[in-house]
Structure 1
Amino acid sequence: MFWKKEKRQDKPKKSNQRAQTQSSTLKKDLQAARTSPVLNFGFNANSGANINLLLLRTLPTMRAYSREAVLKNPIGRKYMNLSVDGVVGSDGIYCKPAVELDKSDEELHEINKQLEKLFDRWAYNAESFSIDGALSFDLFQQTIEKVRVQDGECFIRIHNIDGQIKLEILDAARLTQVNNQVLPDNTYISNGIQFDKYHRPLNYYFCKYNPVTYTFDTGNYEVIPASEICHYFIADVQGQERGTPDLVATSKLIDDLKSFTEAALTAKRVSASTMAYITNSSDNSQVNLIDGEEDTITPVYTEYFEPGFIGELGKNQDIKTISPTNGTDGISEFTTELMNQISMGLNVTKQALLADTSNASFSAARLTEKLQATTFRTRTNVLINKVLKPIYTAWLMNEMFNNNKLNLKFSDFEDLVCARYIPQKPISLDPLKDIQAEIAQLNAGLKSKTQVISEMGGDPRVVLEEIEKERANNKEVVQDGTQEQQEGTTSTPPGD
């Protein structure tokens, strides 16, 4: 009967054991290189259409990467210091008043001298210049350039506290981008900044900062008028609302260079060591089957033997050694090519970025100096127009309002606010040729002495007066020497 039939026993299913494989980073990179369009640059059609949409999505990530690169990567660190040295210099940009009133030269000189004295006393005193009493005018310029390099932008707030102008540097991370909206008065907030219909900044929405937990309260904002903020950044596109860090253009190249360097060092370590594996030459060809399962897993043992180790192998076992060879040939060519592209992305020469003078000729070094001077002069101009001029304007207006000794009229403010911003002149590789070029321009009538002295950072009126005094003194000395010589000649008795 069917109920008396023996039940069929199910045979155990054969298990196929496979080694787990991890996804390879190199495989992902190769796949992305094969499938990505050449002109994509990591942006899709929507994000690449508007620079402000791209900043809304990626600015915090770019800022975090740039800050880490400046702290940990030698290329990022060197580039930041190079930019500070070229744009600002060790002494900073000097502000020299140059009023343009309809007065005599003597009166203008006295006004300029008085304003320069008052401004220097305020600017180079850290207690009166910065709100925390830590930065003077020169250190302030160096700091904001460092912040601009790593964050892409720097925010400076101009405070008026008890009739004194004080400056504060605000963290760019406080200007969050989570409150984009259209307001009832036909204005709108974009990337943390309130604009009118003409895209003119009205207010900046900085979130509150907790100094104990070092966190930002993204729901609590401090609204600061645009008249108190100096937004220092270098725009790449018309209408750009926020700045992008300089290191973003070379982030992938820097990562590739770091990965290749680590691979080269690992290969060097491997090639300096010896590996071994054990073979088993057993004559037993019997196959062991247990419950239908076949054990096909080969055991792997990892051992590190100390120098001088003596051991004994098992029966029918043999040990074979492997001496790997270095597989990272061409590291010099690869590094050179990457450094060329990184230098182009940062808009600096490779010689200046590496501070390497090996195999550098004098003409190449001089050309590098000229190229770097042009690059840094462009950034210096942005610093002057966006930061230094508003600061000097705010100081002069406050000084005229509170200092009655100046006896200056607000109706002449447009003429009084004029000043010359003198950047630090870099050390020339061939100063004699530079002086000869200036003399040639003077002789050809292309420049005046006043212009040459102004470009060198001096006061033309004072310098020319000192030159005239020295000439007058030299003439008096020469005349006195001639008279003494003539008197000595006439008083000499004739010989016999």
Structure 2
Amino acid sequence: MNWRQRLGAFIGGFDAGQQHRRLRGFQATRAHVNALIAASGPDITARARWLVRNNGYAANAVESWAANTVGDGIKPISKLADAARKEELQRLWLAWTDEADAEGLTDFYGLQRRAAREVFLAGEVFVRIRPRRVEDGLTVPLQLQMLPSEMLPLHETGVARNGNAIRQGIEFDRIGRRVAYHFFRRHPGDSTDPVMSGEIVRVPASEVIHVIDPVEGGQLRGVSKLAPAIVKLFLLDQYDDAELDRKKVAAMYAMFVTSPAPENPLAPLDDEEMPAGVEISPGQIVRLDPGEDVTVGQPADSGATYEPFQYRTLLQISAALGIPYPYLANDMVKGNFSNSRLALIEFRRRVSAWQHSVMVYQLCRPVYARWLDLAVLSGALALPGYEAERPRMLAADWLPTKWDWVDPLKDANAEIAQIEAGLKSRTQAIAERGYDAEQVDREIAAERERERALGLDFRRPGSPAQGVQALPAEGDGAEPNNETDDAEDRPRPDEDQA
């Protein structure tokens, strides 16, 4: 016992710091998280990927995380005051999103989803910014290349030729700023591409986006979100396989025939004396030779403990992953509406925090800034005074996909009540649903104009401007009727249904 332990035992106070019998086997490491990742990071990532490929719960968890954090995409709405220039910018951005992926497999919002999956799986992902030539024919000469965590070697640690420190593949200058990343040119585990295997290339930090959700101060590389649940997921998978095999053996209905010992046990049996299997059919009476007995194999049953054991284990895995139990197990039976809604509210608070502090801050904003710079420089977008007012012109709201509720009518009514009471604006309500208020208003105005021209009105009774009249056809000589139709005389869908 060292002097700290003796002093702790003498002073007392915190049980968690004592060395008594209950905690004698609890030897926690004092190594920094960077040292732990360097030692165990590759194994944790490999096991997490194996589980997602082979375990249904792990695969469901990562897909649920990606669907809730990104969904259809976290989309920007520019804050430019000039409505015409804003609309032009939004159109150009929408056209470029289809060209964003350097591999050509998805759009920019698909890259967001892949990034969310990778951060859940490996704790991090790298996005390399690839400027293109104007003659490449892109809307804006820019594409993005996604690189998995394994592409940046954890063992790459030392001193660069320029005197900078390299730690776990990341190069730092003398004041601790990231200046470069030392990537493998090819994935070290891809045996189908052996060309230049093991070769490392230095990429400036200005061309790399490192998406990571660090859990400790000073952390350089990411840790899989599956790490706290890997052991339980693997052991539960083995237990389920063993239980399935036990049920299969029990369903085979194995029978064993016990015969009396022969007079000479060493004498070989004739062919006709060899024991044959007993085949039975429903209602059959089987006669055995004198002295023979039949027993049926009965493997031990897990009884009523299987379901509660699995449920409790999955609850622990759910807590470790931060995924609600219904999302992890696809089991919607065990929770009522109120409990499920409370769990969703807590989950969505965590998701919202992750969306804005990780996905938007680390990935979306840097990509948008580089895209707008190249759009102006290439002449694809005209923004006078961009260099002088760049921060203002870069301002944008990033809107995630709206949440869906089980009972949307109640939520809509509650939102209407908040707007009417002045507790929130229509702009805020529309933004929370993932849309641009100005664009929605333009679409509503266009629809109202079309309804007025055709003499239609699809609004509920009591809504503003119920009276709508048809415009006369061109050239018929008729003058428009300025009288408003009586809303009570017009047939309504509600009355027809009643």
Q: Please, what TM-score do these two structures have when normalized by structure 2?
A: 0.74
Matched position secondary structure for 2:186: strand
Matches within 5 A, 1:358-437: 358-381=333-356, 382-403=358-379, 405-437=382-414
| Structure-2 change in CA distance of 1:115 and 1:215 (3 Å) | same
Local SS of the residue matching 2:85? helix
Change (3 A) 1:265 1:462: closer
Measure, in 1, the Cα distance between the counterparts of 2:418 and 2:40. Answer: 50
Distance 1:280 1:223 in 2: 80
Displacement, 1:279? 7.5
- AA matched with 2:375: E
Superposed CA deviations along residues 246-272 of structure 1, whole A, max 9, x for unmatched, are 211101111221122123223323434
Write out per-residue CA displacement over residues 141-184 of structure 1, whole angstroms, 9 at most, x where no aligned residue: 22222222222211110011214111111132121122211346
Aligned match of 1:228 = 207
The partner residue of 1:347 within 311, 322, 326 is: 322
Deviation at 1:238, TM superposition (A): 1.4
AA of the residue aligned to 2:364:
L
8 Å CA contact retained: 1:267, 1:328: no
8 Å Cα contact 1:352/1:368 also seen in 2: no
Instruction: State the Cα distance separating 1:351 from its structure 2 match.
Output: 1.4
The residue identity in structure 1 corresponding to 2:384 is: N
State whether residues 270 and 324 of structure 1, in contact with CA within 8 Å, keep that contact through their aligned partners in structure 2: no
Q: Indicate conservation of the 8 Å contact 1:281/1:317, yes or no.
A: no
2:16 maps to: none
Which residue pairs with 1:49 in the alignment?
31
Cα pair distance change 1:462/1:146, threshold 3 Å:
closer
Hey, what does 2:61 align to over in structure 1? 79
- What is the match of residue 160 of structure 1? 131
Pick one of 210, 224, 227 that aligns with 1:248: 227
Which of the numbers 88, 93, 98 marks the counterpart of 2:70? 88
Aligned residue pair count: 418
Look up the equivalent residue of 1:389 and give its one-letter code.
R
One-letter identity of the residue aligned with 1:207: F
Aligned partners of 2:181 and 2:204 also within 8 Å:
yes
Give 1:134's match in structure 2, choosing from 92, 96, 105.
105
Cα offset, 1:416, TM superposition? 0.8
Q: How far apart, CA to CA, are the structure 2 residues paired with 1:223 and 1:188?
A: 13
Which residue of structure 1 lines up, in the alignment, with residue 419 of structure 2? 442
Contact 2:121 2:224 in 1 (8 A): yes
CA contact (8 A) 1:208 1:221 kept: yes
Compared with structure 1, are the counterparts of its residues 389 and 281 closer, same or farther at alpha carbon in structure 2 (3 Å cutoff)?
A: same
- The answer on whether the counterparts of 2:77 and 2:436 sit within 8 Å (CA) in structure 1 is no
Letter in 2 for 1:97: S
- The answer to whether the 8 Å contact 1:96/1:422 transfers is yes
Alpha-carbon shift at residue 109 of structure 1 (Å): 1.4
Unaligned runs of 5+ in 1: 1-33, 100-104, 286-302, 486-496
- Deviates further, 368-377 or 246-255: 368-377
**Does residue 1:67 correspond to 2:44, yes or no?**
no
Aligned residue number for residue 116 of structure 2: 145
Post-superposition CA distance 1:26-79 (Å, at most 9, x none):
xxxxxxxx9996645xxx52xx52001011011111111111111110011101
Determine the structure 2 residue equivalent to 1:25: none
Q: Which residue of 1 aligns with 2:15?
A: none
Q: What residue identity is the alignment partner of 2:279?
A: P
Partner SS state of residue 409, structure 1: coil
Please report how far the alpha carbon of residue 116 of structure 1 lies from its aligned counterpart in structure 2 after TM superposition.
Answer: 0.9
> 8 Å contact 1:131–1:168 — kept in the other structure?
yes
* Equivalent residues of 1:157, 1:228 under 8 A apart: yes
Q: Secondary structure at the match of 2:315?
A: helix
Distance in 1, matches of 2:440 and 2:45, equals 47
Distance 1:407 1:66, change over 3 A: same
Distance, in Å, in 2 between the alignment partners of 1:476 and 1:263 is 71
Matched, 1:204 2:181: yes
Give the 3 Å change call, closer, same or farther, for CA 278–442 of structure 1 in structure 2: same
Question: 1:244: Cα distance to partner?
Answer: 1.2
Q: In structure 2, how many angstroms separate the alpha carbons of the residues matched to 1:326 and 1:481?
A: 86
Evaluate the alpha carbon distance shift between residue 484 and residue 189 of structure 1 in structure 2; reply closer, same or farther with a 3 A threshold: closer
Deviations 1:265-284 (A, max 9, x none): 23323434336486875899
Query: Do 2:172 and 2:178's aligned partners in 1 also have CA atoms closer than 8 Å?
Result: yes
Shift in CA distance, 442/174, structure 1 to aligned 2, threshold 3 Å: same
The amino acid across from 2:83 in the alignment is H
In structure 2, C-alpha distance between the alignment counterparts of 1:218 and 1:181, rounded to whole Å: 21
Please state whether the residue corresponding to 1:158 is helix, strand or coil. strand
1:307 corresponds, among 246, 258, 279, to 279
- Rate the CA distance shift 1:466–1:67 in 2: closer, same or farther, 3 A: closer
Letter in 2 for 1:136: D
Q: Secondary structure at the match of 2:48?
A: helix
TM-score scaled by length of structure 1: 0.74
User: Mean Cα displacement is larger for which, 318-327 or 188-197?
Assistant: 318-327
1:121 paired to 2:92: no
The DSSP-based 3-state class of the residue aligned with 1:368 is helix
Following the alignment from structure 2 to structure 1, what is the Cα–Cα distance between the partners of residues 306 and 105? Answer: 45
The percentage of counterpart residues that share the same residue type is 25
AA aligned opposite 2:52: V
Cα offset, 1:113, TM superposition: 1.2
Distance 1:217 1:199, change over 3 A: farther
Shift of 1:451: 2.1
